Each structure stands twice: as C-alpha cells, then as structure tokens.
Amino acid sequence: MNSKHKLWGGRFTSETSSLLEHLNCSLNIDRRMYAEDILGSQKYANALYKINLLTEDELQSIHVGLETVRQQWENDTIEFQNGDEDVHTVNERLLKEHIGKPAMKLHVGRSRNDQVVTDMKLWLRSAMQKLESLMLDLIQVFTERAASELDVLMPGYTHLQRAQPIRWSHWLLSHAWNFKADLDRLKSLKPRCNILPLGSGALAGNPFNIDRIHLAKELGFDIVSQNSMQAVSDRDFVLEFLFWCSLTGLHLSRLAEDLIIYSTKEFSFVSIDDSFSTGSSLMPQKHNPDSLELIRGLSGTLCGELTGFMMTIKGLPTTYNKDLQSDKEHMFKANDRLTSMLNVAIGALRTLQLKPKNCKAALSYDMLATDVAYYLVRKGVAFREAHHLAGQVVSLSEEKHISMPELTINDYKTISDIFESDIFNIWNYENSVEQYKVIGGTSKQSVIRQIKFLEQYCNNINNS
C-alpha cells in the first residue's frame, strides 16, 4: 500500500519496507478489540457532533457505517489489505468505503495513542467481568464440597510431613480463602482500569473542547484522566492485571500440587476423574493428572507475561512509544490462559472423588503429640516445659516401638508425675480436631462458620 494512503503517510516520499510492514502490523492481535474500537468511535462521533464538527446527517452516516463494519467482523467477510496495520486502520478504511467523506472527519482531535488505550480498557473491563464470574464459580465449588464432606478427617501437613489432624473441609476452604482474596483484588482493580483516556490526543490533549466527562459516561467510565501525557503511556492497568493473573495462577498451581500429591498411590486421598485425566502411550495402567499438571505449568507462563511486560515498561521515555504494541499480546495471553486454567480447575475439583477411608487411615497417633503438650498446659505446666515433656513421650514410645496410647500410666509417670490416667482421653482424632473452635480453626463449628461466610460473600456478589 502506498504511504500516501496510510493514516500517517502524508509526509513520506518512499514506500515502507516490507520487513517493517510485517513487524509493524498488529492486526492479528488487536483485531480482538474490533467491537470496542467501533463503540469508542461511535461515542467519539457523538462528542464531535455536540461541538458542531459533525452534522446530524454525518453522525447518522457514521453510526450506520460502523454498524455495517461490525457486521463484517462478526460475519468474517472482511478482505484485509497489505496496508492494514491494526484494527483502527481497518475500521477507518472500511468506514470510508461504506460512507465516503464523512469517515474522514471521525478522527479529528483523536490519535491512535488515546484510541488504543481506550479500546484496551473497554476490552479488559469485559474480560474482568467474565473472570470474576469464574472466580465466583470456583469458590462456590469449594464451599459446596466443604459443606457436603464436612466430617472427613485427614492429616494436615507442614514440610510435607504429617503434622496435626484436620478436616478435609478445612483444607478445601484454605484454598477457597486464597481465591476469595484474588477475587477481592480483581474487584479493586476495576476502578483503576475504568479511567477514560480518550480525549488525550497524541500527547497534548484535544484542541476542540470535546465533553470528556459526558464521553466517559457514554462509554461507562467512572472518571476521565487528568493528564494527557500520562494517559497515553499509562499501562499500569495492564501490569496490575498481569500481576493479578500471575498471583491467581500461583494459587491455582498450589491447589494443583496438593491434589497431584493426594492423588498418588502413596497418598490415595483423592482420585482425579477420568474426564480430567490422561493415560500413557506405553503403560496401560497409568492414570495421569494432566489437567492439574497443565495448571501448574501454565502458572509459570503467566508470571512470564508479567515480567516480560515489566521489562518493556521500565525504560520507556514519557508518552507513547511503539514498544507498547506488545501490551495487548501480554494482556490477551494472560487472560486466555487463566480462563482455561480456571475452567479446568472448576471441572477437576467438581468431579474429584474423595476417599474418606484412606484419609482417616493416614492419621497416626504421633500427630497428637501436640495434644500431649496441651494436656500438660491445661494442668498448669508452662508451654515450653510441656513441649519438652511431650517430646520425651514421643521418644519413649519410639524407644519401646509402641504407639503413645500403648504406653502405660507408669511409663508416663517416669517422665512426669503430672500425668494422670486422663491422658488416655486425648487419643481421639475427632476430639483433637474439635478443640480448635476459635475463628479460623478446624473444628466443625469453625468450618461451618467459614462456609456460611463464603456462601454469604458469593450471594452478595451474585445479587449486586
């Protein structure tokens, strides 16, 4: 395409290198924003009409023409040309083909610098709404399972070593609270994303005194940007979104890692449904948790999108630079990957098969050593001394090759006269779990409190 036909070609006297044409073209990426670009153009046309830069006939012609362009996108009937650099170029070219000269008035006072960032915010606003819905679904799956599997006991772990008995439902909710925090962070990002940059021009502002506040209302933005130079180069909202995707991905990865471990034969607490598992081309017996492994792996690529774009941003001079063309690719990739990860996580968790007997069988009396210390504390012993004495009980049982409940009262007395026959009352896993009644504990009362809180949280969002 000859330079004089480009949006910017007036001062150029030679053809653009085909190599640069290829590198400069972002249409294969930013075409996803065709609807947002059309919407922004329609509302910008309204602003131009309000200040008499468009006649009523020209305004109507632009609206009708842009709707025709929208239909072409939706019906996939657009014939692209070599000079189509981006979605903005295509939409303007097609509009001119449909309505002629009025299309050439639409861009007055507007730059692709403020146009593209407006499109991105419109697109991201919609994407975040869909992600919010997925996050809500995920939290609800956790709470539903926690409520229906409330009484299942299992080992809790630190350092991947058996630590203390807990409820399976408490483990489920430990992840639900992470995702609740993620959802809160996503909701807090929305107002910072919803600041209108349109009307900033290339960098100096708009010289035609358009009503930016009314334009913001028409496009559903909360407020308008206050500095045109900052507005056209601002991609903090992209970085925040990429960070949010990365952190949510890390939480998904940790969930996946737990479930991968719990699904091994060595643990066998859960079984991943066949619909979210794969087999081996060599070993017929294999039942691989590929859905969870993919989530774990893709979480790293989300972090890569964040760090990659941070390095793009860090050295840029003020206002728009073409380096920012990569912003959309990072944003789209992160959104798409996280959306897939969330959908798979929801499906895998919903169809997960719990094995309560195996969970209970994994409990061992050494996990109640802390309860021995608590027993002594309740009898007035300082905790550090109680901890030491409980350690001696563990050591004696190992020395005798028997479990702690099998020690006699005389064995206990050799360690401390404080031990009485009621020490044998602590060797009950259910009683152990039920002592943690404080807010945040693993007792049934506390877990039910968590479930109710999260259920109400989800209901409030659904009804808002």
* Residue 353 phi, psi (nearest 5): -105, 115
Structure tokens at 104: 């050439």
Please give the Cα distance from 198 to 403 (Å, whole number).
Answer: 72
280 is catalytic: yes
Please give the Cα distance from 293 to 287 (Å, whole number).
Answer: 13
The catalytic position among 14, 18, 159, 275 is 159
Structure tokens at 101: 């000269």
| Distances, alpha carbon 419 to alpha carbons 88, 379, 381, 427, in Å | 80, 9, 11, 14
Residue 338 · residue 131 · CB < 8 Å: yes
The catalytic position among 133, 148, 188, 280 is 280
Amino acid at 405: P
Structure tokens at 42: 């329609």
Please give the Cα distance from 455 to 392 (Å, whole number).
Answer: 44
DSSP-derived 3-state class of residue 220? coil
263 is catalytic: no
Residue 203 · residue 103 · CB < 8 Å: no
Please give the Cα distance from 273 to 255 (Å, whole number).
Answer: 16
DSSP-derived 3-state class of residue 74? helix
**Three-state SS letters, 228-255:** HHHHHHCCHHHHHHHHHHHHHHHHHHHH
Structure tokens at 295: 């989530």
Please give the Cα distance from 145 to 292 (Å, whole number).
Answer: 18
Residue 33 · residue 58 · CB < 8 Å: no
Half-sphere exposure of 363 (CA within 13 A, CB side): 21
Question: Please, which residues have CB within 8 angstroms of residue 135's CB and are 6 or more apart in sequence?
Answer: 179, 182, 183, 186, 248, 342
Please give the Cα distance from 403 to 364 (Å, whole number).
Answer: 9
Please give the Cα distance from 328 to 119 (Å, whole number).
Answer: 10
- Catalytic sites, residue numbers: 159, 280
